[in-house]
Amino acid sequence: MKLTVTLPNHAYDLTIEKGLLSGIGQWAKTLWSPQKIVIITDSNVQPLYGNKVKKSLEEAGFDPTTFVIDAGEQSKSLSVAAEIYDFLADEGLTRSDGIIALGGGVVGDLAGFVASTYMRGIHFLQVPTTLLAQVDSSIGGKTAVNTKKAKNLVGTFAQPDGVLIDPDTLNTLEVRRVREGIAEIIKSAAIADEELWQKLEILTDEHDLLVHATEIIAACCKIKRKVVEEDELDNGVRLLLNFGHTIGHALENTVGYGNLTHGEGVAIGMSQITRIAENKQLTPTGTTKQLNKMIQKFQLPIQSDLWDQDQLYLALTHDKKARGGKINIILLETIGKAKIVRIPIEQMKSYLD
């Protein structure tokens, strides 16, 4: 399956197909001329797919090398980015060469950030190998690194030349990482696709979901494509994709990156903000119950033992969505439809009770 993202200054395809990774060299050849390529991957993905990808690229006429980061959110930092810049310079990469991000959300965000800033920007490809990255983070051109103050505080908007999604890579994921991606699928359905929500209701667990991975990934990609095409730079409708993320990102930051997965933070964030919104009569009665039932069916959390209201609020003041003393929050109008609500940031304290 192929979906095209069409933006004012750039268009690219999302190609979703089982087994596609083994032919990555030929795929890249349709997009790039022979050149140097640095494959940025992590210590989990490299033993699984690193050599296969490198060999396929070589056979297609490219000159690939590999940079391996430590797996985990802690690698999404300016210090690791600086190490990669030095590596690219040592390898002699120029503006006519490229980067391939091979891995999950951390690799995709970091590699995209490096590609968009090295020599003021070189081209790159996204090859997501986790469910989270396949349904969300590899699409739309957001790149970023974390700081001690906030998640994704430093970043750019930079679109890839293409996205290759091979659902077969999900077979090697540990179950916690599968569930992490399911949180983003639940989010997508909750904000924009009642039909997808109904499909998720029929599924029994994460194993059942993986059987239907291709169609579910495609449904999420269509949602992401639509909002990105309407709002590339995240100033309007694209903000809907942040449902659960405002609180989720703050929670990730306060408990320490890596102690809570991104998907777990989003699940807790979706539940928390919906519960308070329902109490404030801003979301229909019963929505929280519906949402929590879906979240818990896939063994995702709806609350955290490490909740610290003061620390969470402090982290929220550094959120990228906070502007002029106000912040945009995303609330459900009903399952399948969401709205953007702008509130004074002080009011966020009430959403952390």
Residues 6+ apart with CB under 8 A from 225: 3, 5, 14, 139
Spatial separation of the C-alpha atoms in residues 158 and 116, rounded to whole Å: 6
Is the same domain home to 271 and 160? Answer: no
pLDDT of residue 318: 82
Is the same domain home to 46 and 162? Answer: yes
Q: Is the pLDDT of residue 244 over 90?
A: yes
Domain termination site, one of 150, 172, 194? 172
Contact 9, 229 (CB under 8 A): no
Is the same domain home to 181 and 161? Answer: no
| Beta strands across the sheet bearing 2-7 | 2-7, 10-16, 162-165, 123-128, 98-103, 36-42, 63-69
Element at 162 (helix H, strand E) = strand 162-165
Whichever domain contains 340, its CATH number is 1.20.1090.10
Number of domains into which the chain is organized: 2
Is the same domain home to 189 and 335? Answer: yes
Is the same domain home to 338 and 216? Answer: yes
Whichever domain contains 118, its CATH number is 3.40.50.1970
Task: Tell me the residue length of the chain.
Answer: 353
**What burial class does residue 110 get, using C-beta atoms within 10 Å of its C-beta: 0-12 exposed, 13-18 middle, 19+ buried?**
buried
3-state secondary structure of 18: coil
User: Mind listing the pLDDT tens digit for each residue in 316-328?
Assistant: 888 777 788 899 9
Confidence of residue 298 (pLDDT cuts 50, 70, 90): very high
Is the same domain home to 167 and 214? Answer: no
Is the same domain home to 57 and 92? Answer: yes
pLDDT of residue 209: 97
User: Mind listing the pLDDT tens digit for each residue in 248-286?
Assistant: 999 999 998 888 999 999 999 999 999 999 999 999 999
Is the same domain home to 222 and 96? Answer: no
Which residues on adjacent β-strands are paired with residue 85?
none
Q: Which domain holds residue 246?
A: 175-352
Residues 6+ apart with CB under 8 A from 246: 269, 273, 316, 319, 321, 327, 329, 330, 348
Spatial separation of the C-alpha atoms in residues 173 and 45, rounded to whole Å: 10
Confidence of residue 130 (pLDDT cuts 50, 70, 90): very high
Is the same domain home to 231 and 289? Answer: yes
Is the same domain home to 181 and 50? Answer: no
Domain termination site, one of 116, 150, 172? 172
Spatial separation of the C-alpha atoms in residues 344 and 328, rounded to whole Å: 9
Domain termination site, one of 172, 196, 224? 172
Is the same domain home to 79 and 192? Answer: no
Is the same domain home to 157 and 228? Answer: no
Residue that is written with structure tokens 């308070």 in the block:
276
Q: Is the pLDDT of residue 287 over 90?
A: yes
Contact 184, 265 (CB under 8 A): no
User: Mind listing the pLDDT tens digit for each residue in 170-229?
Assistant: 999 999 999 999 999 999 999 999 999 999 999 999 999 999 999 999 999 999 999 999
- For β-strands 36-42 and 98-103, DSSP reports them as parallel
User: Mind listing the pLDDT tens digit for each residue in 31-75?
Assistant: 999 999 999 999 999 999 999 999 999 999 999 999 999 999 999
